[in-house]
Chains A and B, each alone.
Chain A
């Protein structure tokens, strides 16, 4: 399949969660508390896309499928896209645009506060994801984009700090994040000892 078709396919498939959510919105199938449902749904999919993006380079290495790399940027941008929806949904549907309470909410709730650096970093990565920015930043581009690891850890803390009745989500996301970051650390250390 030509790259352009594959890209189109990845693009459309990545929109499925949003299409699903919109179909629920327009058929009023979001239950009694749609605000909460939407914020949870978009947040969960942000984390899924983050994990999918992070799994590309290990998969390339392990499965020797280098073509995967051609789609990493789009998946990363979809992570930013769902994170944006998550933030906007929170601001509109939970806060009701009442920004007078936003400041105080932020300071008192560490699990919300730590999403700010995560979102700012995600925006920076999105803004520097173009070919020309890659060229312009050179070696620094790689350094900057390694901050995806920090974003993943922040996202996991965001989940962990909200644990109430079950550890299931925190364990699921924690395990996957640890695996994806751990394998990188392992390779990094192996490479160093070889040199």
Chain B
């Protein structure tokens, strides 16, 4: 469905209204916080983080131009988008800290540009490429996807990106390429939590996909969201988005993509193999040992009007991906 031939309508012509509303809500929030802050001398309620992040995340011109030309998503979900302030204010990006609000706070000085990605392993054209060169000849498009976190909350996010398959094909994977492994930047100067000795994570963060999963048209690499450059706390400048898998598969700030013959090691499946599998497909029938996966809190979920909805198999993308797992026991290969 999403593979339809792209039209020549640009997202900049179609989405502004949604973005505009989101921006307006966001700005109104920012103004309100400003007002409250000016009344309370203590400044307890002042939260300039979002505003500052916004300015810091402008990104280079070449990228802004590409993003402005992105094609609109033709089959937008009917579900409402999660507001921009929550998409960029509620993140699991443990390199920046362990609270949901840490990434927005601690990513101010992160430098996503210039950026290089090492493409290596079972490809005919390995090498270290500048992000700008990687994106050459690739058309960006908007994809509105559900994001289901393994912690039982979820969002709907309008990503800007391109299919991973279109990128991988450029480097000509060999016949031995059975898996794709991804690695996040390791740099404790920019990622404060990588310095913590109490972390359970063995940095750098690693993820992986089977080659057919990587080549599925739903799998994208994102460079933006809400019509703008990807904010640092969302994994700038380049992150994976695999909408039918739990959020932790969608690795952020990628510096290395390796095509391999063997199944790569992935961070969470190494920390707690009984809780996080390699596949990590969204599956309401397989509980996390510490909580049920049958339902999810679609954010924002108010206190007195909680937005708790049933979780769908493959996060609702079964039609596009169920075939990949024919004959696989998903209770065993969770």
Q: Does B200 lie within 8 Å of A166, measured CB to CB?
A: yes
The interface residues of chain A lying within 8 Å CB-to-CB of B201 are 165
B299 at the interface (CB under 8 A from A): yes
A residues near B155, Cβ cutoff 8 Å: 32
Contact A32 B82 (CB under 8 A): yes
B90 touches A168 (CB 8 A): no
Q: Which residues in window 59-115 of B have CB below 8 A to A?
A: 82, 86, 89-90, 94, 98, 100-101
Chain A interface category by residue count: 20 to 34
A166 and B193 CA atoms in complex are apart in Å by 10
User: How far, in angstroms, from A101 to B284 measured CA to CA in the complex?
Assistant: 14
Of A25, A29, A108, A171, the residue contacting B303 (CB under 8 A) is A25
A-B interface pairs (CB < 8 A), number: 77
Q: Give the contact-size bracket for chain B.
A: 20 to 34
- Cβ A34 vs Cβ B94 within 8 A: no
Interface membership of B262, Cβ < 8 A: no
**CB proximity of B287 to chain A, nearest CB, Å:** 7
Interface window among B9-17, B214-222, B290-298: B290-298
A192 on the B face (CB < 8 A)? no
B36 at the interface (CB under 8 A from A): yes
CA distance A34 to B73 in the complex (A): 31
- Verify if B302 is at the interface (C-beta below 8 Å from A): yes
User: What distance in Å separates the Cβ of A98 from its nearest Cβ neighbour in chain B?
Assistant: 8
Point out the residue from A32, A105, A171 that lies within 8 Å of B300, measured CB to CB: A32
Looking at the assembled complex, report how far the CB atom of A135 sits from the nearest CB atom of chain B, in whole angstroms: 43
Task: Select one of A31, A161, A165 contacting B101, CB under 8 A.
Answer: A31
Contact, CB under 8 Å: B297 / A35: yes
Contact yes or no, A163 B200, CB < 8 A: yes
Which among B45, B101, B155, B290 has the greatest number of chain A C-beta atoms within 10 A? B290
Choice from A25, A32, A111 contacting B90 with Cβ under 8 Å: A32
Q: With an 8 A cutoff between CB atoms, is A117 at the interface?
A: no
Known: A32-B89, A33-B90. Contact between A168 and B198, CB under 8 A? yes
Please indicate the chain B residues that have their CB under 8 angstroms from the CB of A32 in the complex.
82, 86, 89-90, 100, 153, 155, 299-301
A105 to B152, CA, bound (A): 14
Count chain B CB atoms within 10 A of each CB in A33, A101, A111, A163 and give the residue with the most. A33
Q: Are B290 and A34 in contact (CB under 8 A)?
A: no
Interface centre among B155, B201, B294, B308 (most CB of A within 10 A): B308
Smallest distance from the beta carbon of A175 to chain B beta carbons, Å?
A: 12
Task: Provide the residues of chain A in CB contact with B198, threshold 8 Å.
Answer: 166-168, 171
Distance in angstroms between the alpha carbons of A113 and B86 in the assembled complex: 32
Interface pair B303/A166, CB less than 8 Å apart: no
Assess whether A66 is interfacial by the CB under 8 Å rule: no
Residue in A27, A96, A164 whose Cβ sees the most chain B Cβ within 10 Å: A164
Is B130 on the interface with A (CB-CB < 8 A)? no
Contact of A165 among B90, B200, B291, B302 (CB under 8 A): B200
Cα of A161 to Cα of B36 in the assembled complex, Å: 39
* Min distance, Cβ A40 to any Cβ of chain B, angstroms: 9
| B207 vs chain A, min Cβ distance (A) | 15
Write the chain A residue with the least CB distance to B276.
A164
Interface centre among B198, B199, B201 (most CB of A within 10 A): B198
Query: Which chain A positions have C-beta within 8 A of B86?
Result: 31-32
A93 touches B306 (CB 8 A): yes
| In the complex, chain A residues 26-62 whose Cβ is within 8 Å of any chain B Cβ | 27, 29-36, 38
Does A65 belong to the interface (CB within 8 Å)?
Answer: no
Residues of B within 8 A of A25 (CB): 303
Closest to B33 in A: A29
Q: Which residue from chain A places its CB closest to the CB of B101 in the assembled complex?
A: A31
Q: For the complex, is B47 an interface residue (Cβ under 8 Å from A)? A: yes
Q: Report how far A32 CA is from B155 CA in the complex, Å.
A: 10
Q: Is B174 an interface residue (CB 8 A)?
A: no
With A and B bound together, what is the CA distance between A161 and B289 in angstroms?
11
Residues A47-106 near B (CB distance < 8 A): 93, 96, 101, 104-105
> Would you list 30 pairs from A and B whose C-beta atoms are within 8 A, ordered by A residue?
A25-B303, A27-B36, A29-B45, A31-B86, A31-B89, A31-B100, A31-B101, A32-B89, A32-B153, A32-B299, A32-B300, A32-B301, A33-B90, A33-B100, A33-B300, A33-B301, A34-B302, A96-B308, A101-B292, A104-B292, A109-B291, A165-B94, A165-B200, A166-B98, A166-B198, A166-B200, A167-B199, A167-B200, A168-B196, A171-B198
Known contacts A33-B300, A34-B302, A96-B306; 9 additional CB pairs below 8 A are A31-B90, A32-B153, A32-B155, A33-B301, A34-B301, A162-B290, A165-B199, A165-B201, A167-B199
Q: 3 shortest A-B CB distances, which residue pairs?
A: A32-B86, A32-B299, A32-B90
- List B residues at the A interface (Cβ < 8 Å): 36, 45, 47, 82, 86, 89-90, 94, 98, 100-101, 153, 155, 193, 196, 198-201, 272, 287, 289-292, 294, 297, 299-303, 306, 308
